[in-house]
Amino acid sequence: MAPIVHRLADRDGVEARVCVTAQHRSMLDDALRIFGITPDYDLDIMTPGQTLSGITSAVLQSLDPVLKDFRPDWVLVQGDTTTTMAAALAAFYRKIAVGHVEAGLRTGDLENPWPEEANRRIATVVSTRHYCPTERARQNLLNEGVDPRSILVTGNTVIDALHMTADGIKQDRALQDAMARRFDWLDPDRRLILVTGHRRESFGEGFQQICRALARLGERGDVQIVYPVHLNPNVRGPVFDILSESASIRLIEPLDYVAFLWLMQRASFILTDSGGVQEEGPALGKPALVMRETTERPEGVEAGTSRLVGTNADQIVAECAALLEDAGRYRTMSTTRNPFGDGTAALQIAEDLAG
């Protein structure tokens, strides 16, 4: 959302305020600092061991007084988080128009990803304006009976944010040097595999399989695996239990956006279950192997920039080995056109809202 916040701030006649829920406090604060955003409202709802029901009720109860005070014409929400769903519902209860950024993504399976597939469907039902990243997302909405006049295909703002940050790194020699010092333990003689993993539907056996796959990959000797480990204890438990003794695997704390982007730029490829990384990696020419059974971003699979590998250890290892050992496959995945936008999504959304 950061690119939209900046675009709206530049427009005369628009008063835009930022409200954060702080569902993930530390990761949020890093992002706000990097993009130079100071929230006007901070709901600070994060509590230890919070449940999905707790998050939903906290957002509804905390956001309603903000909406009553500010009385906006529009509420913008992004993506498929529980915060997105609950904020859209809170605005709907106040009869405030909702603009859904990154609208129309679907897997067709409520269990995968869970609960995100339900979150974005609920957001669609109560939204007035739908900002879709791709034509396929638009078609998904049309198939569900959404008024075509309420849909605008813009590309995804994640690509805007990526270009903003990548350009900043490229122009800042001091920042480049700082990143090099921060990650001076990287081995230039081994190919870097960057890992992200946090999906709820993989908790339990799925994460154990993922970790066993990483352990086996670490035994190759020709790769270095870097895994910024999500703060959720359902992730950290199996990750540290299974991988902490591997000399080829570096388990680190979650990264701020600049550091993560810097590592993406240096990675050979990315092993992920994240939605956004399926767009960010290919935008940088980095293949994405997706540790999920389904994806709401099939455009990347069809374009050849990403590949579904599931959570089975044998399949993950085999797909990674193919990328490491087959130069033709790697070249194809790393040079295919990114289908998720050209970096102008925020401008299009701001113009649409202001117009």
pLDDT in tens, 219-233: 999 999 999 999 888
Q: Which domain holds residue 68?
A: 2-156+342-354
Question: Is residue 300, in this structure, part of any structural domain at all?
Answer: yes
Question: Is residue 222, in this structure, part of any structural domain at all?
Answer: yes
Same domain, 129 and 267: no
Question: Is residue 167, in this structure, part of any structural domain at all?
Answer: no
91 burial class (0-12, 13-18, 19+ CB within 10 angstroms)? buried
Cβ neighbours of 96 (radius 10 Å): 17
- Give catalytic status of residue 219 as yes or no: no
Question: Is residue 304, in this structure, part of any structural domain at all?
Answer: yes
Same domain, 145 and 182: no
* Active-site residue, from 80, 273, 279, 280: 80
Question: Is residue 207, in this structure, part of any structural domain at all?
Answer: yes
Q: What is the pLDDT of residue 290?
A: 96
Same domain, 193 and 325: yes
* Active-site residue, from 7, 30, 100, 102: 102
* Active-site residue, from 200, 216, 220, 266: 200
* Active-site residue, from 6, 106, 130, 230: 230
Question: Is residue 100, in this structure, part of any structural domain at all?
Answer: yes
Q: In the predicted model, what is the mean pLDDT of residues 259-286?
A: 92
pLDDT tens per residue, range 19-59: 999 877 877 887 888 889 999 999 999 888 889 999 999 99
Q: What is the pLDDT of residue 232?
A: 86
Q: What is the pLDDT of residue 156?
A: 94
Same domain, 330 and 349: no
State how far the Cα of 204 lies from the Cα of 211, in Å rounded to an integer: 11
* Active-site residue, from 116, 117, 279, 296: 116
Partners of 132 in beta bridges: 153
Same domain, 214 and 348: no
What's the gap between Cα 117 and its chain centre?
A: 14
Question: Is residue 309, in this structure, part of any structural domain at all?
Answer: yes
Question: Is residue 161, in this structure, part of any structural domain at all?
Answer: no
* Active-site residue, from 6, 136, 198, 212: 198
Q: In the predicted model, what is the mean pLDDT of residues 76-80?
A: 96
Distance (Å) of CA 329 to CA 75, 135, 297: 43, 27, 20
**Backbone angles phi and psi of 270, in degrees to 5:** -120, 130
- For the chain, what is the domain count? 2
Same domain, 322 and 176: yes
Q: What is the pLDDT of residue 167?
A: 87
Q: With contact defined as beta carbons under 8 Å apart, do 16 and 37 qualify? A: no
State how far the Cα of 171 lies from the Cα of 179, in Å rounded to an integer: 14
**CATH number for position 280:** 3.40.50.2000
Same domain, 143 and 205: no
Same domain, 192 and 301: yes
Cβ neighbours of 186 (radius 10 Å): 14
Q: What is the pLDDT of residue 133?
A: 95
Same domain, 180 and 326: yes
- Give catalytic status of residue 116 as yes or no: yes
Encoded tokens for 43: 């709901």
Same domain, 179 and 295: yes
Same domain, 151 and 207: no
**What mean pLDDT is reported for the chain?**
93
The model's pTM: 0.82
- Give catalytic status of residue 102 as yes or no: yes
pLDDT tens per residue, range 196-214: 998 888 888 888 999 999 9
Same domain, 121 and 22: yes
